[in-house]
């Protein structure tokens, strides 16, 4: 079975339900709160496992109760966690997310132990044994992403970067990215025109393809556009579903996409499967 390796973040998410998202200086009244396993890295690793591949993760947690919760949920989600380090005297990563009645949300993260992942651990042969695809995101320091991507290239492993949350990407890291996935806002922050429809998403993907071999621009309920090797072009409308929550839909997309690529699927099939997985997630399935 193919193996997908995720190097990235783990967060103990505190979710708050409210009628609406508060504005600046507003105190909104919530209806309930509950803990949720999170972090883009953790969510994407679990999503990859759910999509039918072996899933392995490199990350870090603190020596606290949050860490026990995070490890238990990784294992429950089918992710190999033996390369998750425990960092003493540092809290595990966490976030607070507020979700409104329409399923939209806003969040604040505190990175904690995610900032202390060891680059040295990424040179361990055991980490890479059997790996076909590497998943990265921007919730860990770029030096860690660069170390992982450099090692992946040396070993012939395809690297997929979900450039979220957005931050400027160093020239050296760009060189090692095989597949870039950004949403509409992130694409615009990387220098494209605003994305308002599938054709504009396709134009954004085309522009970014000057810097990356394969680019996928996701546009939520609109769908996605991709520009691949040999000028392969895709526009895939989103499935229409009843929204339960959009929280984590992007991570469901990334994990499934990586699993599909690890299984040898071409870009179109991989994108269609990932889009369907994101739609199911939004619908609460």
The yes-or-no answer on residue 17 being catalytic is no
Q: 84 φ, ψ to 5°?
A: -90, 115
Catalytic residue selected from 64, 102, 251, 266: 251
What's the token pair of residue 177? 């990215």
Q: Report how far residue 72's alpha carbon sits from residue 50's, in angstroms, rounded to the nearest whole number.
A: 16
Handedness of CA 79, 279, 230, 191 (dihedral sign): negative
Query: In this structure, are residues 95 and 114 in contact, taking their beta carbons and an 8 Å threshold?
Result: no
Q: Report how far residue 253's alpha carbon sits from residue 27's, in angstroms, rounded to the nearest whole number.
A: 33
Q: What Å distances lie between residue 54 and 32, 79, 152, 256, CA to CA?
A: 35, 7, 17, 12
Q: Report how far residue 113's alpha carbon sits from residue 146's, in angstroms, rounded to the nearest whole number.
A: 18
What's the token pair of residue 217? 């621009």
What's the token pair of residue 98? 């507020």
> Which residues are catalytic, by number?
251
């Amino acid at each position: 079975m193919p193996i997908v390796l995720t190097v990235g973040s783990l967060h103990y998410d505190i979710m708050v339900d409210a009628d609406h998202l508060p504005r600046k200086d507003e105190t909104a009244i919530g209806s309930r709160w509950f803990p949720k396993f999170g972090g883009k890295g953790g969510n994407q690793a679990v999503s990859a496992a759910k999509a039918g591949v072996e899933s392995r993760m490199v990350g870090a947690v603190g020596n606290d109760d949050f860490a026990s919760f995070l490890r238990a949920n990784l294992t429950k989600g089918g992710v190999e966690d033996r390369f998750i380090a425990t960092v003493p005297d540092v809290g595990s990563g966490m976030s607070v997310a507020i979700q409104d009645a329409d399923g939209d949300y806003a969040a604040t993260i505190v990175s904690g132990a995610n900032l202390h992942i060891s680059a040295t651990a990424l040179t361990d042969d055991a980490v890479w044994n059997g790996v076909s695809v590497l998943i990265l995101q921007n919730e860990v320091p770029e030096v860690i992403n660069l170390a992982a991507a450099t090692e992946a290239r040396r070993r012939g492993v395809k690297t997929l970067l979900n450039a979220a949350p957005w931050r400027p990407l160093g020239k050296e890291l760009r060189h090692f990215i095989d597949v870039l996935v950004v949403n509409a806002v992130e694409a615009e922050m990387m220098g494209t025109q605003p994305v308002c429809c599938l054709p504009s998403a396709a134009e954004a993907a085309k522009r970014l393809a000057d810097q990356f071999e394969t680019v996928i621009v996701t546009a939520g309920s609109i769908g996605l556009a991709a520009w691949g090797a040999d000028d392969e072009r895709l526009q895939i409308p989103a499935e229409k579903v009843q929204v339960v929550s959009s929280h984590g839909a992007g991570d469901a997309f990334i994990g499934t996409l990586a699993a599909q690529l690890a299984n040898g699927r071409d870009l179109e099939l991989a994108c269609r499967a990932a889009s369907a997985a994101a739609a199911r997630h939004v619908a609460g399935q």
